[in-house]
Structure 1
Amino acid sequence: MNIKELQQYVSRFCDEKGFEGIPLETRVMYLISEIGELTDDLLEIKGATTEKQEVIKRNIGHEMFDVTWNIFDLANKLDIDLEAAFKEKMNINENREWKT
């Protein structure tokens, strides 16, 4: 699945589940909540056993999906083509220098 397909999936899912009317501010709060859940899992993985780490990694993947899903929904609500935005930003970063 590419960026455009994922953005279309999020749009269809929102239409099917009745999420299309959620305001931007609410979607951002959901995004922050999902980042918090991702953070909780990342903090838990350090001291976990190898077996438990595998379970936590799976949860981390799910939380990463949730974070990404919320970003894609925000892009849809703002009529932003994320694939175009990613390409543009990649070009900007190509010649950018960071201070370390």
Structure 2
Amino acid sequence: MHIRRILDNSWGFHGRVASREQIQLQISFPHHREWLELFLAWWKYGFASWRQRAPDDGVLTFLCELGPKEYAMTDRHGYELSDRWEEALMLKDLIRGVWADLDAHSS
């Protein structure tokens, strides 16, 4: 898988979930769950790969990326379909869970 080659050389991660068609998806929408799960799996792999390469005192950066307003999906009146700030907080919690899972399985 080509994405693993990229992840195996990554030293930081940007947190934004996209699809083949959309630059940024609402992670709270049930029909986008498959994309969220895919990205969570990629990040978990990437974090584990980073841990193998990083020094003991290394710091991994994960940025919950909202992107500019133009990235957001909107209705016909220009209103965003979700609260991207709330979704960034949700993503932060999910990523902390991924990290905790890696901690639990590395002990």
Give the TM-score range, shorter chain: 0.3 to 0.5
TM-score (norm 1): 0.36
Structure exhibiting the larger radius of gyration computed from Cα positions = 1
Which of the pair has the greater relative contact order for Cα pairs under 8 Å at 6+ separation?
1
Task: Give the structure with the higher percent strand.
Answer: 2
Task: Give the structure with the higher percent helix.
Answer: 1
